[in-house]
Amino acid sequence: MDHTRHATACLRPAIGDGARSLLRSTALAGSLALLAISATGCGNSGYQSPAARRSRPSTPLYSERAAGSAAGGLLAAVPLPVKTHRVGQLTVADAKRLVRPGNSERFAKSVDRPAYWISMDRPLAILAFLAANGPAPKPQYSGYGGVRGRTEGWSETLEVPTGTPLSGPRQLFVSVVLTGRARYAVRIDAVVAWHQRPPASSLVPSSARWLRVTVLEPAFHGFRGEPSRPRRTRSLITATVHTVQAVADAVNELPVAEPTGPQPSCPAMSIANSFARTKIILTFRRIPSGSSLAEAVTDTGYVCDRAGEASAKITTPRLWHGLLLSDHLNSVTVTEGASLAGRIEAAFDHRLHLPARR
């Protein structure tokens, strides 16, 4: 008999991307009668695990081999909890119960390195230990499930903060199932995404020394609500070298758009937002009166798209038709540090009142 698992994820926004969490419900097919997703990592905490204090990986991943090496290193860095030992493989019955959920495979290109454990420790203690001491200190969501009111499965997804969007996302998927009296089988998947290498002609050149940021907000016709021609609401110009370079780096570090996965089911409120998003135009020049070296256009606000969907476009004199880029790397929530609007504000070191991508 097929059962339906109902999941509700409690997610935290990425740093600089607003202070509200996004709640998203989705129906998943599976063998458990109920999967209740509990809120983990929602809210602010002053504690940082040892892994959170380490330097973030920032090397761009442009090949399956590079992503595989990163996934292997990520898996090797996962510490072993007490009363737990590694096994080469699980029994056929346990392996079927610990298949990686299909909704976790949301990257266009990624490498998965799995590992298996047998543990006598409590599942919640295992998950807490990995979040506090493992290489992925940022819980995204967690869950538990079972049959006839008995909890028999637990799961958690953790994310590794990265230095640039091109060096990830990097995630750990942890699943635990009860296999006997106080005995549990554990599966850990280290998943690392990799990206298409952008052409050199699509990059903002290092000679850029002048930047204009133009914000366009949609206007509306009366009570009909149809968006009309966008109107310029504000413009900001800077010639501060480190600010211009920081924004240029933020654009250059956006992955090429590679949409993947099914179209998500979005709340009704997102429909209007998707047709009336605030746009940001970035114009780079060497000197104020010089010709444009590059122009990038992106939008902000509510996001309800597939992972890797285009959210920005860059044009240069050598790439006049432009290249589509994406800062929406994760179909569940915005990946920390990937939001272009958030990185623009960070470069200016103050709020520009840009709607955050959520």
Is residue 34 included in any domain, yes or no?
Answer: no
Same domain as 205, residue 184: no
Same domain as 260, residue 160: no
pLDDT of residue 141: 79
Is residue 353 included in any domain, yes or no?
Answer: no
- The residue segments making up the domain with residue 65 are 46-193
Same domain as 252, residue 159: no
How far apart are the C-alpha atoms of 191 and 105, rounded to whole Å? 9
How many of the other CB atoms lie within 10 Å of CB of 121? 17
pLDDT of residue 2: 33
pLDDT of residue 288: 93
Same domain as 177, residue 213: no
Is residue 275 included in any domain, yes or no?
Answer: yes
By the 8 A CB rule, do 153 and 124 touch? Answer: no
- The total number of structural domains that make up the chain: 2
By the 8 A CB rule, do 34 and 146 touch? Answer: yes
| Single residue among 148, 171, 193 that ends a domain in this structure | 193
Contacts of 271 (CB under 8 A, 6+ apart): none
| Single residue among 149, 166, 193 that ends a domain in this structure | 193
Helices (H), the chain: 64-76, 92-97, 123-133, 241-252, 269-275, 340-348
- Give CB contacts under 8 A, 24+ apart, made by 38-47: 38/10, 38/142, 38/143, 38/144, 39/10, 40/10, 40/131, 40/139, 40/141, 40/142, 40/156, 41/12, 41/131, 41/138, 41/139, 41/140, 42/10, 42/11, 42/12, 43/12
By the 8 A CB rule, do 338 and 329 touch? Answer: yes
Same domain as 248, residue 213: yes
Same domain as 166, residue 100: yes
| Single residue among 159, 193, 227 that ends a domain in this structure | 193
Map tokens 């091109």 to a residue.
166
340-348 and 241-252 helices cross at what angle (nearest 10)? 170
pLDDT in tens, the chain (358 residues): 333 333 333 333 333 333 323 322 232 223 322 233 333 333 333 333 444 445 788 899 999 999 999 999 999 999 999 999 999 988 888 888 887 766 566 788 999 999 999 999 999 999 999 999 999 887 887 888 877 778 888 989 888 888 888 998 899 999 999 888 788 999 999 999 999 999 999 999 999 999 999 988 776 655 555 555 656 677 889 999 999 999 999 999 999 998 887 777 766 544 445 556 778 999 999 999 999 999 999 887 666 777 778 889 999 999 999 999 988 777 655 555 567 888 888 888 766 666 555 5
Contacts of 268 (CB under 8 A, 6+ apart): none
